[in-house]
Structure 1
Amino acid sequence: MTSRNLIDERALLSQFQSGDEMAFDRIFTMFHSSLVFFADRLLLKIGKEISKDLVLDIFLKLYDRREGFETLSNIKAFLYISVRNSCIKAIEKEKVNQKRFDLYTKNFDEFEKNVLDNIVQNEVYEELYQAIDLLPEPYRLIMGRLVTGDTPKEISEELGIPVSTINTQKSRALLLLKKSLSGAGIALLIIYS
């Protein structure tokens, strides 16, 4: 390297270290294109926009650490190593995203079926609960407890009435509910019969 180039490099480095924007622009212009090309080659299928964003992030890191560089060669080494490391992280992130996507698409039909089943089930339960709310008080109390999983014996013990009374009121409540529910609601009601 000639002494003139060495003086220019020292001046540029000194200006850069002091935060001079024009010096930063010169360094950016010197390395930006080749770094984007380098990142593109490493990232292959991920995309050019990611390469550009990644390189811009590295330049921001360079600017934040500008006082620690002694030569342009140190800056160049930092830039290339940082781009390489960022590309490796981006590739790993892409692999994780691809695994998630593959798992999602593999299970999509099952997932979609589960979602639809849950929606239908919730709507049927809502219809059943609304119909139970319209029952006369003793029937509403007993059916509400049965739907939440209590047994006639448990209800009998808690309310202090015979199990036969619970079963009789349950039967009457079921007759009233069958008149007000849709086919799906009746099917759910059969489960609690």
Structure 2
Amino acid sequence: MEHREAAFRKLFDLYRHDIYAYGKSILKHDEYAEEIVQDVFLKIWLNREKLDPELSFRSYIFAITRNLAINFLHKAANDARLREEVFYKSQESYNPAENNIDAAYYDRIKQQAIDILSPRRRQIFELSRNRGMSYEEISKELGISVSTVKNQMSAALETIRNFLFAHSDLTLIITFIAFGWL
């Protein structure tokens, strides 16, 4: 047992700063980034028997970090106090003169995220998000099954989330989540 704990401690010491920095880059808040670090290593400890030594541990922990951050952002989007705190922290350097530039930038990022989707996936996504159609309505209009629509939407949302995390900032991501776009 001591050997496992010592190995775990080495992993913690080796990766905690990187996880913290990645978490903070997404969440823009020290306290939440620290919580993410704790949650990542708790998840690793609880699933230690299932770890595959053939796979990249670094990729694994960053995927966990990203997923936990997404879960946190969903929670923040649905919790008024938390949403205000996260928005406030990410907007500390807000400058009203930059608002028009920000809106244009966000529109461009949003469109770039949509543009990377395949034509069919983009069509399904736009019917759902821009025209407000249900999965059943999209299924009937396009002559495809509802499960195909669900699968395509799920894949589209994952692609868009990954793009936004790579090319955007917290404010835009929370905004999209809060308004049901993601």
TM-score, normalised to structure 2, is: 0.40
TM-score, normalised to structure 1, is: 0.38
Q: Relative CO higher for 1 or 2, CA cutoff 8 Å, sep ≥ 6?
A: 2
Computing the radius of gyration from Cα coordinates, the structure with the larger value is 1
